[in-house]
Every structure is written in structure tokens, then in C-alpha cells.
Amino acid sequence: MAATKKLLIVESPAKAKTIKKILGKDFTVKASVGHIRDLNSSGRGKKALGIDIEHDYKPDYIIIKGKEKTVRELQEAAAKADEVYLAPDPDREGEAIAWHLKEALNLSDENAHRVTYSAITKRAVLQALEEPRKIDMDRVNAQQGRRILDRLVGFSLSPFLWKKVAKNLSAGRVQSVAVRIVVEREREIKAFIPEEFWRIKALVSPPEAKKDQFEASLVRWQGEKFELGKPAASSEAASAVVADHVKNHPFKIRKIETREAKGRPSPPYITSTLQQGASTYLSFGTTKTMSVAQKLYEGMEIDGTTQGLITYMRTDSTRIAPEALEEVREYISKNFDPEYLPEKPQEYSTKKNAQDAHEAIRPSSVELTPEKVKPFLTRDQYRLYELIWRRFVASQMPPARYDITTVTIESGDAELEAKGRIVRFKGHSILIPESEKKEDSKYQNLPDVKEQDLLDLDDLDVTQNFTKPPSRYSEASLVKALEKEGIGRPSTYAPIIKTINDRGYVRLESRAFHATELGMAVNDILIQNFEDIMDLKFTAGMEDSLDEVEQGHKDWVALIDQFYKPFDQKLEKALKDAEALKGRPWDGDEKCPLCGSSLVVRYSVNGAFLGCSTYPECKGLIPMPGEDEGDENGEPAEIIPCPECGSNMVKKKSRYGKEFMACSRYPECKTTLSLDKEGKPVELPKIERDCDECGKPMEVKMGRRGPFLACSGYPDCKNTMPIDKDGNVVILPKVEGEVCEKCGKPMEVKLGRRGPFLACTGFPKCRNAKPLPGDEKPAKKKKEADKESDKE
């Protein structure tokens, strides 16, 4: 009897490689490389929605451009298989990918076996294959409900912004709310008025024991707290009165109190807390955190065994599998003193709106300690794995125990306090020392003193302080804010942050988000016309409704219908009635660089800028002060004059997203400048040379591999000459009569990284390349030659 042919499909090639080694020759393992189908966006008007609004919002799915070959290969593999297992990630997106695979491969319900696992280990994968199930259509409907909502909102709001603000802007159902959070914090900071207050600290010591000095803070004055808002602490003069009083009165210990305190362990990581922890301790951004975690999840070979190192990293649950609890408790009992193992496992509550579809992020096996796997990991992988491993093991250890001592000191009408802490039992902090450093900074080592002891005043420090504005959001704290408001889900936090940054509505500077002028303008016009979509509670409620769809408690079509009909009416009204942003007057000192007139704030897809108020008579403009990259002091961006006409150069983005500088007098002047990695204009070498083919002047141009000379007679004359790194023209040897043996076209001399070589003039259809005649170097491999030819 012939063996059963089995096909298992996952999302990523890396995961496919790991699972193939686990399953061996009994399975063919293929990767879909993410989604294979998406909503159709071809056509005009509402046809480009890819959604039939008139017929229950029926989605029109098509194969994603570039995925045709992948789908054909999967169809061929499925046709040869007796059993097909669909094993994308165990979340909504993964369930949707499994369903799209089923549809694209024409699999019946009986033949489409859905399998999921929280970790890529031999045990987990084999167990999943023993428990296949049908595709969960409730979960699929929750995903496509979200996708359709996002398409409806983005497709509708973007043209509104094009008409009312600037062309090619975009908006999103969740991303726009995230921008609102940053904008509101920006305005809080700008509106903040610092408030003055004073602090008094005394450096004291027991008589004749200066080595036992400690610090005491003044906490009460004449029976009232000495703090912000109290008259005695509000000014230099008032605090000086208190300081003089203290200097002229003895210091006596009135009371010493000691209490026991506990420092409880944190729960194992979930997506949001992992992103926050990686930001705090490793300085990772959210995208980098998820990318590194993905590699750890997909797995690698460790001591001859291929497996994933952590469980699935998109989760909002702190739940731990029973077998993992058993393993970690056994590890603690073997490797730590008995008091480090609690009587029973630590339990952690999961927040009420959590999907709880997967367990917490943990090592797939706690026996794979960071030290064991370090030789097999990159530096970033090791650091993140160590963070996850330590947090998980520590979460099942007992609390740390401390004695906290408070010494109360009297000095006339003033009362001072000194606090110290002694560690009685390290508990979980034996594995998480970083978490204790912040706490330790609040305390000091206190000498052996007793009540009624007199102390010497060695120094008195009176300092002026000011209240600080709210902190700007970092990537980690923005994720925390989104989670707190119920906006987004584990799989969407990183994409949300990447999107709002890429669109130029916020900018990340020194790891802190600043709302841009463009972001604030778009935020305001959306709030004015679409208050519910921009409302945090409304957006959170929609997330909850999608969760209800996943649980089978709500119909996705009814949910979308309930949202879309009133939204469409508001959109129609806003397109008709909303006033376009014509540019508010600029209140800074800057003037038009061309005519000296006042400036107004204008908007484009590249961000806000300052334009002449007399436009279109004068087209002068300058970059928005304080929004140019690297400008941390709010100073205007450096003005770069056009090398041809002297007008200002402004930053632009090509259709491929690459930044360059263009003359502000375009189209009258078409001068452009390339930018280096730091965003500074690249100075091209000045070379005067005539074309040796047609006699016209040559011009210095910037290509992908640096500057080169091109004939000004282009396109009639396409002669070019390379320039070396020192700005000198490279004269290539002349080779005549060389013909491509593959296509018959003439060969020409090109300059590659390793020197000149012959390349076919039929490029890119023919990629033949070879060494120059008489070149002693061995011929390059075809792939290597193709690569060099590609770069010309």
C-alpha cells in the first residue's frame, strides 16, 4: 500500500524549514509567504473598493500581485497530496490565511485540515497534527470584517483629505486615532505652564561619625506638608526662611519605623509588555522587537535539534500551559534554593477584553537557558530571548521581601525624613536585577541610629524646581496607551506605529514622538467632520464588536452595515460642506525668501511647509521650522540655495519613497540634489568634459552607485563615463568586435566593483557578462556577473 502524501502549508519559509526538519520525509512543507489574496483595488470609483456594498458587503478577493507563482506551486503540491494541513499562525490573520488558501487551492471542508500550535517544537507540532479541526469561520469573519472596515474608511477618508487638505494624504480607522493620542499630548506639552517649587535636603551624620552621613528631605513645616502648592515651598524667599530656621535648630531623631514590604514578580510577557520591556531595557523599537521575536518563534537548529525558542509572540493573555508550569517549577527546584519555589504556581489575571487565544510569551523549553542557546543566536536574538526567559522564570518565583526603615527627624518647626531599605529575601529579583535598580534609587543605607539621638548638620541644599510637562510618547508608552484605551490588538500595535510614522503625521526624534504640523491639521479636520471615527471609545467599542464576531455572538455583515450607512452620509456632507484648509498665517519671524512677504502654513504629502502668502504670484517657500530631521531645538531647517538659480531647495519624496531636494521654482528650474544617509545634500564633483561620441558637454549625474558623467545630448546620445570615489573620470579600455555569444548583440565595457568587464548591450533581456580579453582573473559565476550587470 502506497504511503499517504501529506502537505503542510505555513506562512514563512523560515518556519517551513524548521517544521520540515521536525516532520521529515513524511510531509511536504510549503510556505505561502504571508497573505496570498486581498481585496481587489482595480477599477474606478467605488469599484476600486473591492467590496459590493449593495450585496451584504461581499468582498472581491484576488490573488495579490506577485503571488501568482507561489499560488501555482501550492496548487500543484495540493493536487498531489492526499491530505492538506493548513498551519498559518494561530490568530485571526493566520485563520484568514488558512481560509484563503483553502479557497485558492479549491480544497473541500473535509480536505482542509486546520492545525495550530503555540510553539514550534516537535511535541507541539505532532500534537497539533493529531488534533486537526475545521477552519473557524467566526474568526475568519472577524478578520475580514476588520479588513473591510479598514478599506471602507481608508478608501473614503483619503479622497476627503485630498480635496480638503492636500493630494495623496491618507487616513485609517485605527491609525488616525493613534495620531490623535499623539496630537493631544503634543498640545498638552505646548500649553503647559511650569510651576515653581523648592526642595530642602539636609546632609546629616551622628556626632563624630562623618562616614555615616545620610540624606534627609524636609517633608513638613509648621504642621503642613512642605511640597508643591504650599506657600513655604513656593518661592526662594519663603524657602530661605525655612532653611534659616533649620540651620539654627538642633536635629533630633523623633521616630524610627520599620515595616516589611514585598516586591511581587511581573506576569510573563504579552505582546504589549514585551514591546515595552524591549524598549526600556534593550532600546528596541516595536517593529524590531516583533521581527526578532518572529525569528525566535520560527526556530533554528540548537545542538542538532531544530525547534522554535519561544511561543507565539502575538498574544494578550498571561495564561501558561500546565506542562510549561510543571517544567518551570521543576527547573526552579533544581537550580535554586528551596525557598525560591512557591507552594503553588503563581497565577496572573488577564485583562477583561483580552482575546486569550494563546498563552503568554515564554521559552518553548525553560531548559534552553540563555547561556545554552547564545552560541546559536545573533546579539539581538540573544538579548530578547534572555529578557523573555528571565521574565518567565521570575514570574513563577516568590516575591522579594524588604525591610523599609523611615527615620523621622525634628529641627524646630521642621520635620525631615530619611528612608532606607534592606533586602531580606531576593525572591524573583534574583533573575530581574534591572527592575530593582529604579527602586534602589529611592532608598539609601542608613547608619545604626536610635530614637532621641542628636545629629550633626553637615550641609543644607536648597534647590529650585519646576513642574515638568507630560512626557512625550515613546513607541513603548504609545503601545501602552493604545492597550489601555482598548485600541488595536496584539497583531496591530507595531503596524499602527509604523504607519503613522511613515505617513509623516508624527516623527520619532530621540525615541520620542512629536506630532507634525501636518498630523495636527489632518487630526483636526477629521475630528471636526468625523467625530465618532476619531473617538477613542468608539474605536475601542468597534474592537470589542469584532471580538464578539470572533466569539460567534455578532454577525459581521450587520456590524459593518450599522457602521457604514451613517458614516457614508457624514462623508457626503463633509465633502460638500467642510471648508478646505487654505493655510493658516505663520506667526513666526520667517518671511518669504523671494519677495519678503508674510508666510502661511501649507500642506503636501511630504508634510507641512511655509509658502508665500502671495501665491501664485510668488512661489517662495521654506521648510517648516523645527520639523526637519535632526533639528532638536526647534530652529528653522538649514536653507539650501539652488546651485543653478539661487532659490531655496526643498525636500521632496520620489514615487518610490526616496527623499531628494528640488528647486522651489519648479517647473521653471528643474534642478535636483541627491541626499546622503544623513539627509544632507550630496556635493557632486565639478568636471568639464565634452562627450567623445557627439561632442556635446557632459553633465555630472547621480546614479544608484554614485556620480557618473552623462551626455547632455540624451536621449539622442546615451554615452556615459564612470567617476571614481576621488571624483576622477575613469577611462575604460576600448574593446571592439566582441559579440555576445548568447544573443549576437555587441558587447560593451562596463565598470563593476571589481573593475571593468564586458556586458551585453541587450541588457536586461540578455544578462551575459564576461571578463575583458586577456584578463587573467577566473571567470565570474553567472549569478555574480548578472549582479554586476544589474548594477550598471
Coil, strand or helix at 705: coil
Amino acid sitting at position 259:
R
How far apart (Å, rounded) are the C-alpha atoms in residues 623 and 630?
13
Q: Is 312 a catalytic residue?
A: yes
How far apart (Å, rounded) are the C-alpha atoms in residues 203 and 786?
74
The three grid cell numbers given for residue 283, joined into one nine-digit string: 532600546
Residues 6 or more apart whose Cβ sits within 8 Å of residue 765? 743
SS (H, E, C) 304-339: CEEECCEECCCCCCCCCCHHHHHHHHHHHHHHCCHH
Backbone angles phi, psi at 572, to 5 degrees: -60, -45
Backbone angles phi, psi at 93, to 5 degrees: -60, -45
Sole residue written with cell 474605536: 539
Q: Is the peptide bond before 585 cis (omega within 30 degrees of 0)?
A: no
Cα 238 versus chain centre, distance: 48
Amino acid sitting at position 463:
T
Round the CA-based radius of gyration of the chain to a whole number and report it: 33
Backbone angles phi, psi at 730, to 5 degrees: -95, 120
Start-to-end CA span in the chain (Å): 57
How far apart (Å, rounded) are the C-alpha atoms in residues 118 and 714?
59
How far apart (Å, rounded) are the C-alpha atoms in residues 599 and 611?
5
Q: How many CB atoms lie within 10 A of CB 746?
A: 14
Degrees to nearest 5, angle at CA 178 with 172 and 182? 135
> Considering only CA atoms, which of 537, 598, 262 is closest in space to residue 403?
262
User: What DSSP character marks residue 410?
Assistant: E
SS (H, E, C) 358-382: CCCECECCCCCCHHHHHHHCCHHHH
The three grid cell numbers given for residue 114, joined into one nine-digit string: 486546520
Q: How many CB atoms lie within 10 A of CB 351?
A: 14
How far apart (Å, rounded) are the C-alpha atoms in residues 289 and 313?
10
The three grid cell numbers given for residue 691, joined into one nine-digit string: 562627450
User: What DSSP character marks residue 585?
Assistant: B
Q: Please report how the helices 271-282 and 379-395 are oriented relative to each other, as an axis angle in degrees rounded to 10.
A: 120
> 201 near 461, Cβ under 8 Å?
yes
DSSP string, 412-448: TTEEEEEEEEEEEE-GGGGT-HHHHHHHHTT-BPPPS
Catalytic annotation, pick one of 57, 269, 312, 473:
312
How far apart (Å, rounded) are the C-alpha atoms in residues 592 and 620?
6
Q: How many CB atoms lie within 10 A of CB 407?
A: 25
How far apart (Å, rounded) are the C-alpha atoms in residues 511 and 471?
12
Cα torsion for 332, 333, 339, 343, to the nearest 10°? 90
Coil, strand or helix at 144: helix
How far apart (Å, rounded) are the C-alpha atoms in residues 622 and 649?
8
Amino acid sitting at position 46:
K
> Considering only CA atoms, which of 650, 582, 500 is closest in space to residue 181?
500
> Considering only CA atoms, which of 202, 203, 201, 214 is closest in space to residue 448?
214
Cα 396 versus chain centre, distance: 30
> Considering only CA atoms, which of 392, 370, 367, 394 is closest in space to residue 381?
370
The residues annotated as belonging to the active site are 312
